[in-house]
Structure formats: structure tokens, C-alpha cells
Amino acid sequence: MPATVPVSAVDVYDPEVVNNPFEVYDELRESGPVVYFEKYGVFALPRYQEVREALSDPEHFISGAGVGLTKEGNAPIIGTLLASDDPLHATLRAVLSEQLSPRELRKLGERLQAQADALVAEAVGLGTFDAITDLSARFPVSVVADLVGLPEEGREKLLPGANAIFSTRFGPERDDIAQFWPAAKAYVEYIAASCNRETLAPGSWGAAVLDAADENRLAGTPPAQSLSAILIAGMDTTVNLLGSFLRILAEQPQVWADLKADPSLISSGITETLRIESPVQGFYREVRGDVELGGHRFDEGDRVMVMFGAANRDPRQYENPAQFDLRRNPLDHLAFGYGLHGCVGQHLAKMEARALLTSLLAQVESIELAGTPEQRYNPVLRGLVHLPVRVTPAPGGVQ
Amino acid sequence: MRIEVDRHRCEGFGMCEEVAPDLYALDDDGNLQVHEGDLAPGVEARAASGARVCPVAALKLVST
């Protein structure tokens, strides 16, 4: 037990804290740049500067020992893009970095917009709908599953599977998380069964993963693991981003009015949503060698939580951090991580959000809550499971 | 000071260009072109802002 850093008894995975973590984050940030969670025997970085520094130093703060809390959860993800270090990490990242580059993604722009327009039209036609299940949860699943080349049949397994994977791989040992292990296993089996040329569409990202395997560009790792990594990283996270933004729009009429008046603020609004409601609230790094950070000297093997969600609301970095400011455009936020492991799919996520918001602004006159938003319990993902909204169609807006 | 690009890291996200389009620009092939050589003192701060928002930390300012 370290004597030099504040020890906290808080459990950041407690469902009540997960539901509303921000007061706890405030306390943690105020207690110091490095804190120790006695319940789990890990360190945590709740401030912006230290999270950014740790992410900037992947040689001392490694990912290859797993980025989740427990050994059991980390075991199945070690050796994936997310939980590896260079050179393996660079090898795996190269497989799809071309497809995910803005240059390549630009070609998808029109298709994404058409998909978003159709989904929004369907939802707007309902008048009152669930902005998660009827909209936010549908769009990234269809986009990413199309890109990966998965058949329509079986796609309903993707979101529940990703939720189970996130819960079991990154969270603590708890009964309400243990129940997800069978779903996580079923998901892994579904991906393994889908990871072949008969199932995956030719020319798809899935086929590109199989090409990489055939050409020995996966460093001997199973192609299903890379396929799974893309699907898991690319869905639930984006669903949460979209849902969080829609909640802000439904709850804050002024933000909606400002966006309606000036749609060029969409990108800034997306960036601000990522900051204030970071879809991934925190991962871990493990210390290698001798390193000091935030005035604390870490020992080899220390586990350190990088608290993206807390860092992004650090008043040392952002004025009035709890306030959603449509014009803030905080491009240096850490919701996608930073540096070596910076989210490889971030441009796609932002394109999806832009397409959806563009459709909404064109087709909807006003949006308001039609019920109480319901937060989901997931130990690392922040997002909603239900968001009832009522919309008024824009005059001549619905296609 | 001048801008240094880690070509292995850069994936063409273009956020540097969003911040300082006169110093950073993606060409038609999506490759990053940066201001070559010494930065005038007046633009150093913007060059630093552009480097700061690189999501994969591929940019830095180094002394010439």
C-alpha cells in the first residue's frame, strides 16, 4: 500500500457511482493527481494532465498486460490491438488503418448519409420514439456490420455481445457482471463461426482481415480476434456517443436551437459530447520500469487506471467542465484515448455522428423528452439504454 | 522551431489542419504536408496547437 498518495475507498464500479460518476470524479481529482483504490489495489489518474502523460508514454505504461481491471477479464483480450504493445500493436493496427483513414472513409460519406436519412425518417414518422433502440443503436450496427461484411442474419447478436464483452473484459468481479460471461462466450463463438470467406462479403473489412491472415500480417494471432476487436470497438461506443448527444439536444432546447441556426456547429457539438459524456470512462495501463508521474514513483507491475471520463471534466483543463458548450470544440479531449493507442476508428465514429445529426436537423423541427432517460449499467461504458423522445417534423423535412 | 512528423504514426486524421490550415494540410492523397523549415515566431503557438490535437501524437515541434 502506497504511503505517498491519497487512498480512496470509493468503488468506481458501484452501480450508483456508474450511474452518476461525476461527483466522485470531482472528489478524486481534488484529492490528488494520483490516487489509490484500496478496494481493487490499483492506482488511478483522475486529472487531465496525468492521463495525457501516461498515454504519451506507452513504454512505461503498457497495454500488453491488459487494459481491464481483472486478470480473468484481461486474459482473453491480451494480444489484441487494444491490449498489446509495439511491435505487435503496430502490426495489428496496420491491418485496417488504411480502411479507417479519413481519406478512404470519405468515399463512404454519401452512403452513410443515405442510411442516416432513412433511419431518421423512419423514427420521425413515429413521432414519439426511443432514441436509443429506434435510432442510436441501429445506425452504427448497420454501418459497421456492412463494412465488416457480415450477413444480415445474426446481426442482432452484435450489440448485446459487445455489451457483454465490455462488461466482462474490463469490469470488476461482480454477480451482475458475471451473468454476462455466457453472452460473451456466445458472442465469441458467433464471431468465430462468421470469420470465413463464405460468410464475409468480398472486399469487406472482414475479408481484409482474412487477407492479412493469409499473408502472415497478423503476427500469428487468430483473424477472429481482429474481427471481434473491430466489431466491439466500433459499435457500442458509437451508440453511446449518439445517444448522449441526442439526450443533450432533447434536454437543452437552446443547444438544439443553436444547432438548427448553424449546422456547422455539429462537429464541435460531437467533440463536446465526447468530452462531457466520454463513451469509455476508463481503461488501465501497467507500469514497466522506473517511472514517476504526478509526483509519484510507480513500481514495476503497478496497475494504473487512466480515467478518460474524469480527465475530460478536469477544471484545470476545461472551464466550467460540467457545462455543455456547443462552441467549445475541445479537440484535445481524451475520450478516444491519445497517442499510440488513440482510437483507430475515431473518424468513422465522428462521420456517423455527423450524418445522423445532419439528418435530424433537416427532418426535425423540435425534439423533447417524452419520458425519463434510463442509464445502462456497464462498468466502463457510459450510455443510455432508453431515451424516450417526441419530435415535431420539420416542414417538408421528412423524405 | 520546426514541425516534425512521425510518418509511421500519422494516419491522416487531419485535426492539425482543422486548427492551423496554413501550417498543416492533407494533400489529395491524404498525406500530411507541413510547413517546412523554421517557423516564424508569430505562428509557433498555432503550430503547437495543431500538434497538440493530433490524436495519435504524431506531431511535435523541435528546435532547429
For B8-44, what is each residue's pLDDT tens digit?
A: 999 999 999 999 999 999 998 889 999 999 999 999 9
pLDDT value of residue A397: 60
Of B12, B15, B57, the CB nearest to A101: B12
Measured CA to CA, the distance from residue A95 to residue A222 in angstroms comes to: 13
Of B11, B14, B57, the CB nearest to A338: B57
**Which chain A residues are Cβ-neighbours of B27 within 8 angstroms?**
none
Please give, rounded to a whole number of angstroms, the shortest distance from the CA of B52 to a CA of chain A.
Answer: 7
pLDDT value of residue B28: 87
pLDDT value of residue B29: 85
Nine cell digits for residue A194: 462468421
B37: left (phi over 0), alpha (psi -120 to 50) or beta: left
- Whose grid coordinates read 481491464? A68
User: For residue A63, which phi and psi values (nearest 5 degrees)?
Assistant: -105, -20
Closest residue on chain B to A57 (Cα): B57
> Any idea what DSSP says for residue B40?
P
Please give, rounded to a whole number of angstroms, the shortest distance from the CA of B41 to a CA of chain A.
Answer: 23
**CB within 8 Å: A343 and B29:** no
Coil, helix or strand at residue A296 = strand
Residue ranges of chain A whose pLDDT lies below 50: 399
Residue A322 exposed, middle or buried by CB count within 10 Å (0-12, 13-18, 19+): exposed
Closest residue on chain B to A332 (Cα): B53
**Counting one residue from A and one from B, how many pairs have CB atoms under 8 Å apart?**
40
The answer to whether residue B21 neighbours chain A at the CB level (below 8 Å) is no
**CB within 8 Å: B12 and A103:** yes
**Which chain B residues are Cβ-neighbours of A102 within 8 angstroms?**
12-14, 26, 30
Which residues 69-128 of chain A have a CB within 8 Å of chain B?
Answer: 90, 97, 100-104
Q: Are B51 and B59 in contact (CB under 8 A)?
A: yes
Closest residue on chain A to B55 (Cα): A338
Alpha-carbon distances of A34 from A7, A49, A296, rounded to whole Å? 9, 11, 7
**CB within 8 Å: B11 and A338:** no
Mutate to test the interface with A, among B56, B59, B60 (most CBs of A within 10 A): B56
For A22-48, what is each residue's pLDDT tens digit?
A: 999 999 999 999 999 999 999 999 999
**Which chain B residues are Cβ-neighbours of A336 within 8 angstroms?**
55
Q: Are A43 and A302 in contact (CB under 8 A)?
A: yes
Omega cis (within 30) before A172? no
Residue A395: HSE in the Cβ half-sphere, 13 Å Cα cutoff? 0
pLDDT value of residue A374: 97
**Which chain A residues are Cβ-neighbours of B19 within 8 angstroms?**
331
What is this model's ipTM?
Answer: 0.92
Which residues 26-55 of chain B have a CB within 8 Å of chain A?
Answer: 26, 29-30, 52-53, 55
Of B8, B12, B55, the CB nearest to A336: B55
Q: What is the DSSP annotation of A275-293?
A: HHT-SB--EEEEE-SSEEE
